[in-house]
Amino acid sequence: MALARYPDHYFGTCRDTTTDTLFVMRVPGSALDADVTAMAADQLAVKVQFADAAGSRAQLLAFASRIRADTETWRAKGVVIESVTLAIDGAGVVVDTPQWQSAEAEIKATYGPLVAEVR
């Protein structure tokens, strides 16, 4: 439901089975919270908590693709981008490079705050 009805807000979910808590990661500002809360009301054992995400899953996937498209530009600068993945908590993207120590500041300056981590 969340991905289909709220593609610009929904990032993902995870569940803590020890507390029966469903964590919904999303960009605030839609009716998603109300819809999920209403759906969960029928599930007495499930608690719902919301966590802010830097972007929706679709937005962050597009952002990661943009960085991947620039790999040759980075290679020309001596930086090998090995992978670009979504941070599991919705904080942004993670850029993996062996040159992370020397390239982190430039990568973050180039792409901005949606780069959650350079490692």
Torsion of Cα atoms, 12 then 15 then 20 then 26, to 10°: -20
**Tell me, what's the pLDDT at 26?**
98
| pLDDT of res. 64 | 98
CB 118, CB 100: distance < 8 Å:
yes
- What confidence score (pLDDT) does residue 44 get? 75
Measured in whole angstroms, the distance separating CA 79 from the mean position of its chain's CA atoms is: 23
Which stretches in the chain have pLDDT values below 50?
Answer: none
Report helix, strand and coil shares of the chain as percent, to nearest 5.
35, 25, 35
Q: Where are the domains of the chain?
A: 2-52, 57-118
**Distance between CA atoms of 44 and 55, rounded to whole angstroms?**
30
Per-residue pLDDT of 59-81, as tens digits, reads 999 999 999 999 999 999 999 99
Rounded Cα distance between 36 and 4, Å, is 13
Query: What pLDDT sits at residue 85?
Result: 98
CA 23, chain centre distance (Å)? 14
- In the sheet where 10-16 sits, what is the strand order? 10-16, 21-26, 47-52
